[in-house]
Amino acid sequence: MNPKKILVVEDENYLCDLYKEILEDQGYIVEVAKDGNEGMLKMKKGGWDLVLLDIILPGMDGIEIMRVLKANPPLAPNNKVVFLTNLDKDKEMDEAQKLGDGYIIKSTVTPKSLVDKIHEYLGNQAKN
């Protein structure tokens, strides 16, 4: 079985590198995008098993990216999109829940809980 492909769209370098390392250690293939425009280009290509998409990004924010992709889907669909946020509950989170498959609150996630959430969203264990 081929390893799952994950795209991390996150503008905070430390978190981007941390998520990439943690997920690669679990056997996933991970690419990163460090702003909304780069994230949009990579998501438009499609074919991701999972996209971790920050809501607040320079350029184009995560919610705007999802609106564009819902209106003009990529040829190879992205399986699941999970928002990364420090927001708790507000209008933006309501919109994010409608556009994506879930969300992870960055300020409360640990490396282990991130891995557990990823396995849950992908419905399987990573290939080690």
The CATH number for 112's domain is 3.40.50.2300
Distance CA 94, CA 69 (A): 18
Contact indicator for 124, 24 with CB cutoff of 8 Å: no
Task: Establish if 45 belongs to a structural domain.
Answer: yes
Q: How many domains does the chain have?
A: 1
Task: Establish if 128 belongs to a structural domain.
Answer: no
Please give the model's pTM, rounded to 2 decimal places: 0.91
Tokens coding 2: 């081929």
Contact indicator for 55, 92 with CB cutoff of 8 Å: yes
CB burial of 91-122 (b: ≥16 within 10 Å; e: otherwise) equals ebbebbeebbeebbebeebeeeebbebbeebb
Below-50 pLDDT ranges, the chain = 126-128
Res 107: pLDDT: 84
Res 13: pLDDT: 95
Res 52: pLDDT: 97
Res 128: pLDDT: 42
Task: Establish if 126 belongs to a structural domain.
Answer: no
Domain residue limits at 31: 5-121
